[in-house]
Protein backbone atom coordinates (compact mmCIF):
# COMPACT_ATOMS: atom_id res chain seq x y z
CA UNK A 1 0.00 0.00 0.00
CA UNK A 2 1.23 3.51 -0.80
CA UNK A 3 1.62 5.10 2.63
CA UNK A 4 2.76 8.38 1.09
CA UNK A 5 -0.56 9.07 -0.59
CA UNK A 6 -1.86 12.43 0.71
CA UNK A 7 -5.35 11.95 2.13
CA UNK A 8 -8.19 14.22 3.13
CA UNK A 9 -10.61 12.10 5.14
CA UNK A 10 -11.69 10.74 8.47
CA UNK A 11 -12.68 7.06 8.37
CA UNK A 12 -15.53 5.62 10.43
CA UNK A 13 -15.96 1.85 10.53
CA UNK A 14 -19.47 0.50 10.09
CA UNK A 15 -18.64 -3.05 11.11
CA UNK A 16 -17.15 -6.14 9.55
CA UNK A 17 -15.69 -5.82 6.11
CA UNK A 18 -14.33 -2.32 6.68
CA UNK A 19 -12.45 -0.95 3.72
CA UNK A 20 -10.22 2.10 3.72
CA UNK A 21 -10.98 4.08 0.59
CA UNK A 22 -8.94 7.10 -0.37
CA UNK A 23 -9.44 10.50 -1.84
CA UNK A 24 -6.15 11.75 -3.20
CA UNK A 25 -5.37 15.40 -2.61
CA UNK A 26 -2.51 15.09 -5.08
CA UNK A 27 -4.61 13.91 -8.00
CA UNK A 28 -7.82 15.57 -6.79
CA UNK A 29 -9.67 12.30 -7.41
CA UNK A 30 -10.88 9.18 -5.65
CA UNK A 31 -8.16 6.55 -5.76
CA UNK A 32 -9.64 3.13 -6.54
CA UNK A 33 -6.47 1.22 -7.39
CA UNK A 34 -6.06 -2.11 -5.57
CA UNK A 35 -2.70 -0.96 -4.22
CA UNK A 36 -4.44 1.76 -2.26
CA UNK A 37 -7.16 -0.37 -0.68
CA UNK A 38 -6.71 -1.92 2.73
CA UNK A 39 -9.22 -4.61 3.55
CA UNK A 40 -10.40 -5.79 6.91
CA UNK A 41 -9.24 -9.42 7.43
CA UNK A 42 -12.83 -10.61 7.16
CA UNK A 43 -13.23 -8.89 3.80
CA UNK A 44 -10.44 -10.68 1.93
CA UNK A 45 -11.35 -11.51 -1.63
CA UNK A 46 -13.52 -8.46 -2.05
CA UNK A 47 -11.91 -6.81 -5.05
CA UNK A 48 -14.69 -4.51 -6.14
CA UNK A 49 -15.71 -1.32 -4.41
CA UNK A 50 -18.80 0.68 -5.26
CA UNK A 51 -19.52 4.26 -4.35
CA UNK A 52 -22.94 4.07 -2.72
CA UNK A 53 -24.18 7.39 -1.50
CA UNK A 54 -23.46 10.89 -0.29
CA UNK A 55 -24.10 11.53 3.40
CA UNK A 56 -23.54 14.92 4.97
CA UNK A 57 -20.07 15.86 3.75
CA UNK A 58 -18.99 12.28 3.29
CA UNK A 59 -19.33 9.34 0.98
CA UNK A 60 -20.71 5.92 1.84
CA UNK A 61 -19.07 3.01 0.05
CA UNK A 62 -20.01 -0.61 -0.26
CA UNK A 63 -17.90 -3.55 -1.33
CA UNK A 64 -18.89 -6.38 -3.63
CA UNK A 65 -20.11 -8.42 -0.68
CA UNK A 66 -22.78 -5.73 -0.17
CA UNK A 67 -21.66 -4.82 3.35
CA UNK A 68 -21.75 -1.15 4.25
CA UNK A 69 -18.05 -0.81 4.72
CA UNK A 70 -16.94 2.72 5.35
CA UNK A 71 -18.00 6.33 5.57
CA UNK A 72 -15.57 8.90 4.29
CA UNK A 73 -16.30 12.04 6.22
CA UNK A 74 -14.66 14.42 3.80
CA UNK A 75 -15.13 17.87 2.38
CA UNK A 76 -14.82 16.58 -1.15
CA UNK A 77 -18.43 15.74 -1.99
CA UNK A 78 -18.88 18.63 -4.34
CA UNK A 79 -15.56 18.26 -6.11
CA UNK A 80 -16.29 17.71 -9.82
CA UNK A 81 -14.26 14.51 -9.86
CA UNK A 82 -16.21 13.08 -6.95
CA UNK A 83 -19.56 13.97 -8.52
CA UNK A 84 -18.39 12.44 -11.81
CA UNK A 85 -17.39 9.24 -10.05
CA UNK A 86 -20.70 9.16 -8.21
CA UNK A 87 -22.84 9.67 -11.29
CA UNK A 88 -20.90 7.10 -13.29
CA UNK A 89 -20.97 4.40 -10.62
CA UNK A 90 -24.47 4.72 -9.19
CA UNK A 91 -25.67 2.23 -11.80
CA UNK A 92 -23.59 -0.40 -10.01
CA UNK A 93 -25.82 0.11 -6.99
CA UNK A 94 -29.17 0.24 -8.78
CA UNK A 95 -28.22 -2.64 -11.07
CA UNK A 96 -25.98 -5.01 -9.03
CA UNK A 97 -25.83 -7.48 -11.88
CA UNK A 98 -22.68 -9.22 -10.65
CA UNK A 99 -24.40 -10.38 -7.46
CA UNK A 100 -24.39 -13.09 -6.38
CA UNK A 101 -20.88 -14.04 -7.36
CA UNK A 102 -20.77 -15.62 -10.81
CA UNK A 103 -24.16 -14.26 -11.89
CA UNK A 104 -22.65 -13.10 -15.21
CA UNK A 105 -21.04 -16.44 -16.08
CA UNK A 106 -22.30 -19.46 -17.98
CA UNK A 107 -21.96 -21.58 -14.85
CA UNK A 108 -23.76 -18.97 -12.74
CA UNK A 109 -27.00 -18.99 -14.76
CA UNK A 110 -29.11 -22.00 -13.77
CA UNK A 111 -30.80 -23.94 -16.57
CA UNK A 112 -34.50 -24.90 -16.71
CA UNK A 113 -33.78 -28.64 -16.66
CA UNK A 114 -32.21 -28.19 -13.23
CA UNK A 115 -35.72 -27.45 -11.96
CA UNK A 116 -37.61 -30.15 -13.80
CA UNK A 117 -38.55 -27.94 -16.76
CA UNK A 118 -38.15 -29.86 -20.00
CA UNK A 119 -40.28 -27.97 -22.52
CA UNK A 120 -38.44 -24.69 -23.05
CA UNK A 121 -36.32 -22.72 -25.49
CA UNK A 122 -33.04 -21.04 -24.61
CA UNK A 123 -33.30 -17.85 -26.67
CA UNK A 124 -31.20 -14.93 -27.81
CA UNK A 125 -33.26 -11.84 -28.66
CA UNK A 126 -31.74 -8.90 -30.54
CA UNK A 127 -32.53 -5.30 -29.60
CA UNK A 128 -32.77 -2.38 -32.05
CA UNK A 129 -29.59 -0.85 -30.57
CA UNK A 130 -27.47 -3.93 -31.13
CA UNK A 131 -27.57 -5.83 -27.83
CA UNK A 132 -28.30 -9.53 -27.50
CA UNK A 133 -30.59 -10.59 -24.67
CA UNK A 134 -30.69 -14.03 -23.14
CA UNK A 135 -34.16 -15.40 -22.45
CA UNK A 136 -35.95 -18.59 -21.48
CA UNK A 137 -39.31 -19.41 -23.05
CA UNK A 138 -41.04 -21.88 -20.75
CA UNK A 139 -44.06 -23.57 -22.31
CA UNK A 140 -47.23 -24.33 -20.39
CA UNK A 141 -47.59 -27.97 -19.41
CA UNK A 142 -51.20 -28.09 -20.57
CA UNK A 143 -50.98 -27.38 -24.32
CA UNK A 144 -54.64 -28.25 -24.94
CA UNK A 145 -55.91 -24.85 -23.82
CA UNK A 146 -57.82 -23.09 -26.57
CA UNK A 147 -57.27 -19.65 -25.00
CA UNK A 148 -53.53 -19.08 -24.71
CA UNK A 149 -51.85 -16.67 -22.36
CA UNK A 150 -48.20 -15.64 -22.35
CA UNK A 151 -46.61 -14.03 -19.32
CA UNK A 152 -43.67 -11.67 -19.86
CA UNK A 153 -41.62 -11.80 -16.68
CA UNK A 154 -39.27 -9.07 -15.37
CA UNK A 155 -37.13 -9.81 -12.32
CA UNK A 156 -35.62 -7.63 -9.58
CA UNK A 157 -32.34 -5.78 -9.71
CA UNK A 158 -29.88 -8.54 -8.76
CA UNK A 159 -29.17 -12.04 -10.01
CA UNK A 160 -30.37 -13.39 -13.34
CA UNK A 161 -33.28 -15.20 -14.96
CA UNK A 162 -31.90 -18.58 -13.92
CA UNK A 163 -32.38 -17.68 -10.28
CA UNK A 164 -36.10 -17.09 -10.98
CA UNK A 165 -36.76 -20.41 -12.71
CA UNK A 166 -38.62 -21.84 -9.70
CA UNK A 167 -40.97 -18.86 -9.91
CA UNK A 168 -41.54 -19.38 -13.63
CA UNK A 169 -42.22 -23.06 -13.01
CA UNK A 170 -44.86 -22.25 -10.42
CA UNK A 171 -46.42 -19.55 -12.62
CA UNK A 172 -46.70 -21.97 -15.52
CA UNK A 173 -48.21 -24.72 -13.41
CA UNK A 174 -50.71 -22.53 -11.58
CA UNK A 175 -51.86 -20.39 -14.52
CA UNK A 176 -51.25 -22.58 -17.60
CA UNK A 177 -49.42 -19.62 -19.13
CA UNK A 178 -46.35 -19.77 -21.31
CA UNK A 179 -43.66 -17.69 -19.62
CA UNK A 180 -41.02 -15.58 -21.36
CA UNK A 181 -38.22 -14.82 -18.91
CA UNK A 182 -36.31 -11.91 -20.38
CA UNK A 183 -32.81 -11.06 -19.20
CA UNK A 184 -31.91 -7.37 -19.02
CA UNK A 185 -28.84 -6.08 -20.83
CA UNK A 186 -25.75 -6.47 -18.70
CA UNK A 187 -27.33 -9.25 -16.63
CA UNK A 188 -26.69 -12.96 -16.85
CA UNK A 189 -25.60 -13.83 -20.39
CA UNK A 190 -27.03 -10.71 -22.04
CA UNK A 191 -24.66 -8.20 -23.59
CA UNK A 192 -24.46 -4.50 -22.74
CA UNK A 193 -24.66 -2.30 -19.67
CA UNK A 194 -27.94 -1.63 -17.85
CA UNK A 195 -29.58 1.75 -17.55
CA UNK A 196 -33.17 2.98 -17.61
CA UNK A 197 -33.30 3.69 -21.32
CA UNK A 198 -31.66 0.38 -22.17
CA UNK A 199 -33.97 -1.70 -20.01
CA UNK A 200 -36.97 -0.01 -21.62
CA UNK A 201 -35.60 -1.02 -25.02
CA UNK A 202 -35.11 -4.58 -23.73
CA UNK A 203 -38.65 -4.80 -22.41
CA UNK A 204 -40.06 -3.70 -25.76
CA UNK A 205 -37.88 -6.25 -27.55
CA UNK A 206 -39.31 -8.99 -25.34
CA UNK A 207 -42.88 -7.88 -26.00
CA UNK A 208 -42.22 -7.65 -29.73
CA UNK A 209 -40.81 -11.20 -29.70
CA UNK A 210 -44.08 -12.45 -28.21
CA UNK A 211 -46.04 -10.56 -30.85
CA UNK A 212 -44.03 -12.05 -33.71
CA UNK A 213 -43.46 -15.60 -32.49
CA UNK A 214 -45.80 -18.12 -34.12
CA UNK A 215 -46.58 -19.85 -30.81
CA UNK A 216 -47.47 -16.69 -28.93
CA UNK A 217 -48.55 -13.97 -31.34
CA UNK A 218 -52.27 -14.63 -30.85
CA UNK A 219 -52.13 -15.07 -27.08
CA UNK A 220 -53.26 -12.82 -24.27
CA UNK A 221 -50.18 -11.10 -22.85
CA UNK A 222 -49.74 -10.57 -19.12
CA UNK A 223 -46.85 -8.41 -17.90
CA UNK A 224 -45.40 -9.48 -14.53
CA UNK A 225 -42.75 -7.53 -12.64
CA UNK A 226 -41.07 -7.87 -9.25
CA UNK A 227 -39.36 -4.88 -7.58
CA UNK A 228 -37.30 -3.18 -10.33
CA UNK A 229 -39.16 -5.44 -12.75
CA UNK A 230 -42.39 -3.79 -11.66
CA UNK A 231 -41.06 -0.41 -12.77
CA UNK A 232 -39.98 -1.96 -16.08
CA UNK A 233 -43.45 -3.50 -16.46
CA UNK A 234 -45.29 -0.23 -15.76
CA UNK A 235 -43.13 1.65 -18.23
CA UNK A 236 -43.65 -0.98 -20.92
CA UNK A 237 -47.43 -1.00 -20.52
CA UNK A 238 -47.66 2.80 -20.74
CA UNK A 239 -45.64 2.73 -23.95
CA UNK A 240 -48.06 0.21 -25.47
CA UNK A 241 -51.41 1.69 -24.51
CA UNK A 242 -54.07 1.02 -27.10
CA UNK A 243 -52.35 -1.93 -28.78
CA UNK A 244 -55.04 -4.28 -27.53
CA UNK A 245 -52.88 -7.33 -26.87
CA UNK A 246 -51.74 -6.61 -23.30
CA UNK A 247 -54.42 -8.23 -21.16
CA UNK A 248 -53.16 -7.62 -17.63
CA UNK A 249 -50.42 -6.32 -15.35
CA UNK A 250 -49.05 -7.92 -12.15
CA UNK A 251 -46.85 -5.90 -9.80
CA UNK A 252 -45.02 -7.16 -6.74
CA UNK A 253 -43.13 -5.03 -4.17
CA UNK A 254 -42.24 -2.23 -6.54
CA UNK A 255 -41.57 1.44 -5.82
CA UNK A 256 -42.88 4.92 -6.63
CA UNK A 257 -39.53 5.99 -8.08
CA UNK A 258 -35.84 5.35 -7.51
CA UNK A 259 -35.39 8.82 -6.07
CA UNK A 260 -38.14 8.25 -3.50
CA UNK A 261 -36.92 4.78 -2.61
CA UNK A 262 -33.30 5.70 -1.83
CA UNK A 263 -33.98 7.70 1.38
CA UNK A 264 -36.18 4.91 2.73
CA UNK A 265 -33.62 2.21 2.09
CA UNK A 266 -30.80 4.19 3.69
CA UNK A 267 -31.75 7.57 5.17
CA UNK A 268 -28.29 9.24 4.96
CA UNK A 269 -28.40 8.61 1.22
CA UNK A 270 -31.13 11.21 0.78
CA UNK A 271 -28.35 13.53 -0.41
CA UNK A 272 -27.75 11.18 -3.32
CA UNK A 273 -31.34 11.12 -4.58
CA UNK A 274 -31.27 14.43 -6.51
CA UNK A 275 -28.16 13.24 -8.36
CA UNK A 276 -29.68 9.95 -9.42
CA UNK A 277 -30.23 9.96 -13.18
CA UNK A 278 -32.10 6.63 -13.09
CA UNK A 279 -35.65 7.78 -12.29
CA UNK A 280 -38.08 4.91 -12.94
CA UNK A 281 -40.93 7.27 -12.08
CA UNK A 282 -43.73 4.71 -11.82
CA UNK A 283 -45.89 7.12 -9.84
CA UNK A 284 -46.06 9.37 -12.91
CA UNK A 285 -46.77 6.58 -15.35
CA UNK A 286 -49.25 4.30 -13.61
CA UNK A 287 -52.15 6.80 -13.81
CA UNK A 288 -51.85 6.57 -17.60
CA UNK A 289 -52.89 2.90 -17.56
CA UNK A 290 -56.67 2.72 -17.83
CA UNK A 291 -57.82 -0.22 -19.91
CA UNK A 292 -56.42 -3.42 -18.33
CA UNK A 293 -56.80 -5.15 -14.94
CA UNK A 294 -53.90 -4.73 -12.51
CA UNK A 295 -52.92 -6.98 -9.59
CA UNK A 296 -50.88 -5.44 -6.76
CA UNK A 297 -49.01 -7.91 -4.51
CA UNK A 298 -47.46 -6.41 -1.39
CA UNK A 299 -45.32 -7.98 1.31
CA UNK A 300 -45.97 -5.94 4.44
CA UNK A 301 -42.58 -6.89 5.91
CA UNK A 302 -40.71 -5.60 2.87
CA UNK A 303 -37.43 -4.25 4.23
CA UNK A 304 -36.24 -2.76 0.91
CA UNK A 305 -39.23 -1.06 -0.69
CA UNK A 306 -41.60 0.46 1.88
CA UNK A 307 -45.07 -1.12 1.52
CA UNK A 308 -46.42 2.43 1.44
CA UNK A 309 -45.01 2.74 -2.08
CA UNK A 310 -47.21 -0.10 -3.28
CA UNK A 311 -50.23 1.36 -1.50
CA UNK A 312 -49.62 4.73 -3.14
CA UNK A 313 -49.26 3.12 -6.58
CA UNK A 314 -52.55 1.30 -5.98
CA UNK A 315 -54.18 4.62 -5.10
CA UNK A 316 -52.75 6.32 -8.19
CA UNK A 317 -53.87 3.54 -10.52
CA UNK A 318 -57.04 4.52 -12.41
CA UNK A 319 -58.08 1.25 -14.02
CA UNK A 320 -61.57 -0.08 -13.49
CA UNK A 321 -60.30 -3.41 -12.20
CA UNK A 322 -57.48 -3.28 -9.69
CA UNK A 323 -56.87 -5.98 -7.10
CA UNK A 324 -54.92 -5.56 -3.86
CA UNK A 325 -53.35 -8.65 -2.27
CA UNK A 326 -51.13 -8.30 0.77
CA UNK A 327 -49.07 -10.83 2.69
CA UNK A 328 -48.58 -9.83 6.30
CA UNK A 329 -45.25 -11.64 6.74
CA UNK A 330 -43.91 -11.20 3.22
CA UNK A 331 -40.41 -9.67 2.97
CA UNK A 332 -38.99 -8.11 -0.17
CA UNK A 333 -37.51 -11.29 -1.62
CA UNK A 334 -39.68 -13.86 0.14
CA UNK A 335 -43.21 -12.63 -0.58
CA UNK A 336 -43.18 -15.01 -3.53
CA UNK A 337 -42.80 -17.91 -1.06
CA UNK A 338 -45.88 -16.96 0.98
CA UNK A 339 -48.80 -19.37 1.02
CA UNK A 340 -51.43 -18.27 -1.48
CA UNK A 341 -49.06 -16.20 -3.65
CA UNK A 342 -49.47 -18.22 -6.84
CA UNK A 343 -53.13 -18.94 -6.12
CA UNK A 344 -53.90 -15.21 -6.17
CA UNK A 345 -52.09 -14.85 -9.51
CA UNK A 346 -53.98 -17.82 -10.94
CA UNK A 347 -57.28 -16.34 -9.76
CA UNK A 348 -56.38 -13.00 -11.35
CA UNK A 349 -55.50 -14.60 -14.69
CA UNK A 350 -58.53 -16.88 -14.76
CA UNK A 351 -61.21 -14.52 -13.45
CA UNK A 352 -59.99 -11.05 -14.38
CA UNK A 353 -58.34 -11.74 -17.74
CA UNK A 354 -59.60 -14.96 -19.34
CA UNK A 355 -63.11 -15.06 -17.89
CA UNK A 356 -63.97 -11.61 -16.48
CA UNK A 357 -67.34 -11.27 -14.81
Catalytic residues: 227, 302, 332
Q: How many helices (H) and strands (E) does the chain have?
A: 9, 16
d(CA 237, CA 247) in angstroms, rounded, equals 10
Strand partners, 54: 59
Ramachandran region, residue 105 (left: φ > 0; alpha: ψ -120 to 50; beta: rest): beta
Helices 341-348, 165-175: crossing angle, 10 deg rounding: 50
d(CA 318, CA 314) in angstroms, rounded, equals 8
Phi, psi (deg, nearest 5) at residue 120: -155, 165
Closest Cα partner for 139 from 210, 223, 68? 210
Amino acid sequence: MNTNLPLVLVLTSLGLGTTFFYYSKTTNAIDTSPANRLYHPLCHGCNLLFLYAVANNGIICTCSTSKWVVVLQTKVRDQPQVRYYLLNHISEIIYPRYLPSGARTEEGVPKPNQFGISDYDDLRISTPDGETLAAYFVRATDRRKTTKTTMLMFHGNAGNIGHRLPIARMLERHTDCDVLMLEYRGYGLSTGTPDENGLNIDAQAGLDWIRKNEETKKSNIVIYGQSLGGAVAISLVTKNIGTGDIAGLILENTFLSIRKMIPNVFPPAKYLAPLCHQRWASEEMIPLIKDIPVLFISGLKDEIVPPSHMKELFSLCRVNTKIWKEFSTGSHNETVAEAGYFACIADFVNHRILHPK
